[in-house]
Amino acid sequence: MPSKIPSELIGNNLKLLSLPAVVEKINRLLEDPNSTTADIAHYISQDPVLTARLLKLVNSPFYNFPSEIDTISMAVTILGTRQLRDLVFVTTVISQFTPHDDVNFDLEAFWCHSITAGIAARVIALNQKNLNSERLFICGLLHDIGKMIMALLLPQEVITLNKANLNKEINIYDAESQIFGYTHGEWATALLESWHFPASISEPIHYHHNPEESPEFKTDSAVIHIANVIANNIQAPISKDDDTLLQQAALDTVGITQNDIEGYYEQVYELLDNVLQMLYYDLAA
């Protein structure tokens, strides 16, 4: 078991695990009382590659706006600065981390699963009242980021974990606790706290395998649990995890039925290829 808790180990590797620089700059602009939305739009527009990615995404079926958005200034006006900041984060974080080859960490499988879960979480939220679809998309996208952090910081332990998973010796969540001392949900929470993300994002990620234990965001945690199961049923699971079965309590918490879930699968499939192309394959090319 590692001698350091996640927050300490992450704190010692802040350079490796920092937010994408462009997101940090936008955060500083958002916190500056003298900056304007025009300043943020101008800063983003200076990066033609990022601008093209963002405009492609906001003009895709994912948002389905009635008319074309052809400038970052227009995107800021329609989406707001914080939502646009979140989109910048989404389009940059995917290429931020690359575990060592020895770990045999399948980046494509990881991000395809994560993006699918993000789409599923957003679909669920859009079909319900009083759920924040954009925030839940971020939660879904990052729900397994703790696995990435473990692979980056503790590669030898991940190799041991992979062997236990392959041999089906133990439930993967229990194996993480035994080998690392903490689960991937707890590792994710430590990372997100170092990035100063709010509890409304870190808590649903922390508790997506056991949403009933979420102290403050049970409904959002249940949404991410359901989104993870949907993603596991669409994409090949990235681990042989006993916790991929849908919990009835999670459905009850969100207020949906199994029949609703079947409809959500169709909506996810309608968006999936296009969003995977934009958020992963175009960036990996």
Walk me through the domains of the chain, giving residue ranges and CATH numbers.
6-17+99-284 (1.10.3210.10), 19-96 (no CATH)
Residue 134 in tokens: 């954009």
Q: How far apart are CA 191 and CA 11, in angstroms?
A: 9
The mean predicted confidence, pLDDT, of the chain is: 90
pLDDT score at 166: 66
pLDDT score at 241: 54
* Neighbouring C-alpha atoms within 13 Å toward the C-beta of 69: 24
Continuous segment of H or E residues that includes residue 23:
helix 21-31
* Neighbouring C-alpha atoms within 13 Å toward the C-beta of 207: 21
95-99, 148-152, 166-170, 242-246 — which one is most confidently predicted on average? 148-152
Give Cα separations from 156 to 68, 103, 162, 273 (angstroms). Answer: 49, 7, 10, 34
Q: Which residue has the higher pLDDT, 243 or 213?
A: 213
For 162-204, how does the pLDDT look when each residue is reduced to its tens digit (9 = 90+)? 777 666 656 777 888 888 889 999 999 999 999 999 999 999 9
Residue 283 reports pLDDT greater than 90: no
Continuous segment of H or E residues that includes residue 21:
helix 21-31
Q: What is the DSSP letter of 3?
A: S
- Looking at residues 86-94, what average pLDDT do you find? 92
For 114-173, how does the pLDDT look when each residue is reduced to its tens digit (9 = 90+)? 999 999 999 999 999 899 999 999 999 999 999 999 999 988 888 888 777 666 656 777
For 19-59, how does the pLDDT look when each residue is reduced to its tens digit (9 = 90+)? 999 999 999 999 999 999 999 999 999 999 999 999 999 99
Handedness of CA 159, 165, 171, 172 (dihedral sign): positive
Q: How far apart are CA 205 and CA 42, in angstroms?
A: 33
Under the banding of pLDDT at 50, 70 and 90, the label for residue 3 is very low
Q: How far apart are CA 258 and CA 123, in angstroms?
A: 15
Task: Sort residue 173 into left (φ over 0), alpha (ψ -120 to 50) or beta.
Answer: alpha
